[in-house]
């Protein structure tokens, strides 16, 4: 005879609780595994999108694409993947530099990067002096290091006010013969049009005010402030995709913090002790006062559009304003200086004037006369050198100037000369 045993209700509840706990643990484990797999796939898509953007900029190094036209790239060999993988590259102008925008989407993962672009040349020359049927004359502590292209008359030593040349040799590098034309800047015609037609459909107006702080992404519309009157930039912080335009003068004071913006005016003055990273485009005059520090990649561009010799110049009136870029003492500029002129007449003024104790790391391009008493780590392209001392004008003389192409960093990307824009100069937002 079998005897039935009763199981206590508490024991059943205990078993049930244990079963539920086990089920929850199993469910949590399965969910975790699923989530990890999903995150792994998501992470893989994100990594692929980032890699595609990087490859897009590598593509730009090798290929010259049209401006303002989105180019679709395909880095996958599987035709079926094209349905959920798209990568595009867009190139636009931003002053003397270009702007590259690379975008990649893999499934639902999206990645985009924007960069200022310039031209990189690892075999950069120190000097290109246009053939002008005159020797290059070195005086004082002048020293030129790197390959040079100079007139067929060559280079020699000189004497100014009793000061001779102190170097052990004339050129510390290879000498070549230049031609009667300076190398052309490929996007100079765009700049000439840009200063007149800077407003586009993707431009939005804004107002300047004391204490203003604005960051405008290059993925958004360009912000524009323009005025027919002089503009004083002080106690403001402007960063990114911003244009400031005056029909007269723009003055940048040390209290203004500018990053990546462009300034356009006939005359632009950068006051003492200013620190920033921006582009300046003028048509009459650019004056950079002492102790200014402009970080890479900055640019000072003067597009002199006076086709006729000014009457003041013809009459030799004293204290007249000269269309020039003037860099005063103890200033450090990292980037580009350009003076371009439609006036073909000769003169005895300095169109780019670089004072003592000035250091420029980058490129100096002058379609007329350059006065060099400071130091340039990089390249100089010029029609002539000129110096005024002791009441006399010395043509094609360099007095205490230093040019050293070997001190320019290999990563430097600048003027579009002999090549198209292809190298990242700076990542921007």
According to DSSP, residue 188 is labeled H
According to DSSP, residue 417 is labeled B
In this structure, are 155 and 274 located in the same domain? yes
Residue finishing a domain among 65, 86, 118 = 118
Buried b (16+ CB within 10 A) or exposed e, 140-179: bebbbbbbbbbbeeebeebebeeeebeeeebbbbeeeebe
In this structure, are 274 and 399 located in the same domain? yes
Q: Could you tell me which residue, 74 or 241, shows the higher pLDDT?
A: 241
In this structure, are 335 and 202 located in the same domain? yes
Average pLDDT for 106-128: 91
The answer for residues whose C-beta is within 8 angstroms of residue 188's C-beta and 6 or more apart is: 338, 340
* Residue 148 counted as domain residue: yes
Cβ atoms within 10 Å of 230's Cβ, excluding its own: 14
In this structure, are 147 and 186 located in the same domain? yes
In this structure, are 361 and 218 located in the same domain? yes
162: left (phi over 0), alpha (psi -120 to 50) or beta: left
* Residue 166 counted as domain residue: yes
The pLDDT of residue 74: 83
In this structure, are 70 and 159 located in the same domain? no
Each as own residue / partner, the long-range contacts of residues 239-243 (CB below 8 Å, 24 or more positions apart, any chain) are 239/214, 239/215, 240/214, 240/215, 240/216, 240/428, 240/429, 241/216, 241/217, 242/214, 242/216, 243/198, 243/203
- Tell me the percentage of the chain whose pLDDT exceeds 90: 70
Place of tokens 């975008």: 103
Please give the helix or strand (H or E) that residue 226 lies within, else none. strand 222-227
In this structure, are 214 and 237 located in the same domain? yes
Q: Which domain range does residue 270 map to? A: 127-409
Q: Could you tell me which residue, 89 or 49, shows the higher pLDDT?
A: 89
In this structure, are 49 and 145 located in the same domain? no
* Residue 392 counted as domain residue: yes
In this structure, are 172 and 304 located in the same domain? yes
Residue 28: pLDDT band (50, 70, 90) is: confident
Average pLDDT for 340-346: 84
Number of independent structural domains in the chain: 2
* Angle (nearest 5°) at CA 352 between 347 and 358: 145
**Do 154 and 135 form a contact (C-beta atoms < 8 A)?**
yes
Average pLDDT for 136-156: 97
Question: Phi, psi at residue 148, to the nearest 5°?
Answer: -125, 150
Place of tokens 């931003």: 94
Would you call the peptide bond into 119 cis, given omega within 30 degrees of 0 as the criterion?
A: no
Cα-to-chain-centroid distance, residue 413: 8
According to DSSP, residue 146 is labeled S
d(CA 224, CA 222): 6
Cβ burial of 273 (10 Å; 0-12, 13-18, 19+) is middle
Kindly state the tokens that stand for 238. 């402007």
Residue 315: pLDDT band (50, 70, 90) is: very low
In this structure, are 160 and 228 located in the same domain? yes
Scanning 174-309, the segments in alpha helix (DSSP H) are 188-194
**Do 118 and 415 form a contact (C-beta atoms < 8 A)?**
yes
In this structure, are 131 and 239 located in the same domain? yes
Residue (of 269, 344, 347, 256) closest to 302 by Cα position: 269
Question: Phi, psi at residue 23, to the nearest 5°?
Answer: -60, -40
d(CA 340, CA 336): 13
The pLDDT of residue 50: 87
Tell me how far apart the terminal alpha carbons of the chain are, to the nearest angstrom: 88
* Residue 351 counted as domain residue: yes
* Residue 416 counted as domain residue: no
* Residue 153 counted as domain residue: yes
* Residue 245 counted as domain residue: yes
In this structure, are 113 and 159 located in the same domain? no
* Residue 325 counted as domain residue: yes
The tally of CA atoms less than 13 A away on the side-chain side of residue 249 is: 11
**pLDDT single digits (tens) 360-419:** 999 999 999 999 999 999 999 999 999 999 889 999 999 999 999 999 999 999 999 977
**Do 108 and 86 form a contact (C-beta atoms < 8 A)?**
no
**pLDDT single digits (tens) 72-81:** 888 776 666 6
The pLDDT of residue 424: 94
């Amino acid at each position: 005879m079998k005897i039935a045993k009763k199981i206590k209700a508490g024991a059943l509840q205990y078993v049930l609780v244990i079963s539920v706990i086990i089920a929850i643990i199993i469910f949590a484990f399965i969910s975790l595994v699923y989530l990890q797999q999903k995150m792994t796939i998501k992470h893989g898509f994100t990594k692929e999108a980032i890699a595609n953007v990087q490859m897009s900029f590598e593509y730009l190094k090798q290929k010259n694409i049209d401006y303002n036209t989105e180019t679709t790239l395909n880095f996958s060999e599987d035709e079926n993947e094209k349905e959920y993988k798209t990568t595009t590259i867009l190139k636009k102008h931003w002053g003397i530099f270009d702007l590259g925008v690379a975008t990649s989407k893999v499934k639902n993962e999206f990645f985009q990067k924007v960069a200022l672009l310039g031209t990189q040349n690892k075999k950069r020359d120190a000097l290109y002096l246009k053939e002008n049927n005159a020797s290059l004359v070195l005086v004082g502590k002048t020293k030129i290091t790197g390959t040079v292209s100079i007139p067929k008359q060559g280079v020699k030593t000189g004497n100014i006010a009793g000061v001779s040349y102190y170097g052990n040799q004339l050129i510390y590098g290879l000498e070549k013969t230049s031609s009667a034309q300076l190398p052309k800047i490929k996007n100079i015609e765009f700049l000439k049009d840009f200063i007149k037609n800077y407003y586009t459909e993707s431009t939005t107006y804004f107002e300047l005010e004391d204490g203003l702080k604005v960051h405008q992404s290059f993925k958004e519309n360009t912000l524009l402030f323009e005025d027919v009157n002089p503009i004083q930039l002080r106690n403001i912080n402007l960063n990114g995709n911003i244009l400031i335009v005056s029909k007269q003068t723009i003055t940048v004071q040390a209290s203004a913090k500018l990053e990546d913006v462009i300034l356009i005016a006939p005359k632009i003055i950068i006051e003492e002790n200013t620190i920033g990273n921006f582009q300046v485009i003028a048509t009459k005059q650019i004056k950079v006062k002492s102790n200014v520090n402009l970080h890479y990649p900055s640019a000072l561009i003067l597009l002199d559009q006076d086709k006729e010799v000014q009457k003041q110049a013809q009459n030799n009136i004293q204290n007249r304003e000269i269309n020039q870029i003037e860099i005063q003492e103890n200033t450090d500029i990292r980037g580009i200086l350009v003076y371009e002129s439609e006036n073909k007449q000769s003169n005895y003024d300095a169109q780019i004037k670089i004072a003592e104790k000035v250091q420029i790391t980058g490129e100096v391009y002058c379609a007329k006369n350059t006065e060099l008493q400071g130091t340039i780590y990089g390249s100089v392209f010029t029609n002539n050198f000129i110096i005024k001392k002791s009441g006399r004008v010395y043509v094609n003389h360099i007095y205490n100037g230093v040019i050293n192409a070997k001190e320019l960093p290999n990563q430097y990307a600048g003027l579009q000369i002999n090549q198209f824009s292809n190298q990242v100069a700076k990542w921007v937002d």
